[in-house]
Structure 1
Amino acid sequence: MISEYLKQNTSEFHDAAEKLFNSEKIFNKTFSLEDYRKIISTNYLMLLNSEEKIFNSFSGEISEELQLDQRRKLHLIEKDVESLSMSSREASHDLQVDNRHEALGMLYVIEGSTLGGNVIAKQLSKTEGFDGVTFNFFGCYQENTGSMWKSFKEILDREVAEENYEHVLTGAKKLYTFLLNVN
């Protein structure tokens, strides 16, 4: 299954992202508002430069099945940027999405960050200094986070034939690389 293949073959990228964002500090309650601004800023730039390109790579039927309208997150993270008094930016990086399979790999990274983001939001809402913070991006699916992830993985596993695994992995690596290097 492609979802397991991606998990295994992107684990170093996932670990690097956790390190970049000081994720261990989230669970020992030493994560600061400045740490949070960094994670929001980076994810904002990733979505700003990729979301529209990714979503435009899909046609009608799979768009509906993936529930793409519900998976849009740029407008949510823009609310977080505003509430944190950060400045919004314009898309400035040429991130290429070469085909639908790469787009699925990129969407895997975004949906995975949503899954982890739900845990982050719950944890930070109990952390001192985060009382007035709204978690629009990280809390986007609320109680539906698990079912949205499960639905995405089922579609991914069903739609991607083994001969396209490398294309999907290329997309996931592209977006992870972008996330780890954008500023």
Structure 2
Amino acid sequence: MVSEYLKRNTAEYHDAAEKLFNSEKIFNKTFTLEDYRKIIHTNYLMLLHSEDKIFNSLSDKFTEKLQLSERKKLSLIEKDLSSLALQNQKPSFNLEFKNEHEALGAMYVIEGSTLGGNVIAKQLSKTEGFDEVTFNFFGCYRENTGPMWKNFKEVIDAEVQEKNYNEVLSGAKKLYMFLLSVN
């Protein structure tokens, strides 16, 4: 299954992202609003440079299977930017996905960040100083976070053949490398 292949082969990137964002501070309640601004800004840049490219690279069969209209997150994170007094930007990096498989790999990173973001939102909502934070991006699927993640994994596991696993991995690595370099 491609989802397990991706999990195994991107673990080091996932760990590096958690370290970059000081994730351990989330659970020991020392995460600050400035830490949150950084994580939102970096995720915003990731979505700004990738979301449209990913969605435009996917064939029509994925529109319904992945409920693509419900997975758009750029407008949500822009609300978070505004509430944190951070500025919208224009895309300034050339991030490209060669094909649909790379786009699915990049989407894996974004959907994974949504899954983790739900945990972050729940934890930070109990942390002092986060009373006024709305968590539009991290809480985007609300109670549907688990089902949306499960749907994503089921679709890519059913649709991606083993001969294309490396292309999907390439897309995931490409987006992780971008995320880790834009802070």
Q: TM-score range by the shorter chain?
A: over 0.9
Q: Which residue of 2 is the match for residue 88 of structure 1?
A: 88
2:118 match: 118
* Residues in 2 aligned to 1:19 and 1:74: alpha-carbon distance in whole angstroms: 24
Query: Structure 1: how far apart are the matches of 2:19 and 2:61?
Result: 38
For residues 17 and 180 of structure 2, what CA distance do their matches in structure 1 show? 6
| Structure 1 spans left out of the alignment, 5+ residues | none
Deviations 1:32-83 (A, max 9, x none): 0000000000000000000000000112221111111000000000000000
Aligned residue number for residue 35 of structure 2: 35
CA contact (8 A) 2:59 2:100 kept: no
Runs of 4+ residues deviating >6 angstroms: none
The amino acid that maps onto 1:28 is: N
Partner secondary structure for residue 7 of structure 2 = helix
Residue 5 of structure 1 pairs with residue 5 of structure 2: yes
Instruction: Find the counterpart in structure 2 of residue 54 from structure 1.
Output: 54
- In structure 2, distance between residues paired with 1:59 and 1:156: 13
> 2: CA distance between counterparts of 1:50 and 1:62?
17
CA deviation profile, 1:106-128 (whole Å, cap 9, x unmatched) = 00000000000000000000000
2:115 maps to a residue whose letter is: L
Q: Tell me the amino acid that sits aligned with residue 134 of structure 1.
A: T
1:17-28 equivalences under 5 Å are 17-28=17-28
Q: TM-score, normalised by structure 2?
A: 0.99
The aligned residue for residue 161 of structure 2 is 161
CA RMSD of aligned residues (A): 0.5
Taking the aligned partners of 2:95 and 2:6, their CA distance within structure 1 comes to 20
Q: Distance in 2 between matches of 1:95 and 1:123?
A: 32
Tell me how far apart the structure 2 counterparts of residues 42 and 14 of structure 1 sit (CA, whole Å).
14
Of all paired residues, the percent bearing the same amino acid is 73
Name the aligned partner's letter for residue 151 of structure 1. Answer: N
* 1:100-179 matched pairs, under 5 angstroms: 100-179=100-179
Aligned residues between the structures = 183
TM-score (structure 1 length as normaliser): 0.99
Deviation at 1:3, TM superposition (A): 0.4
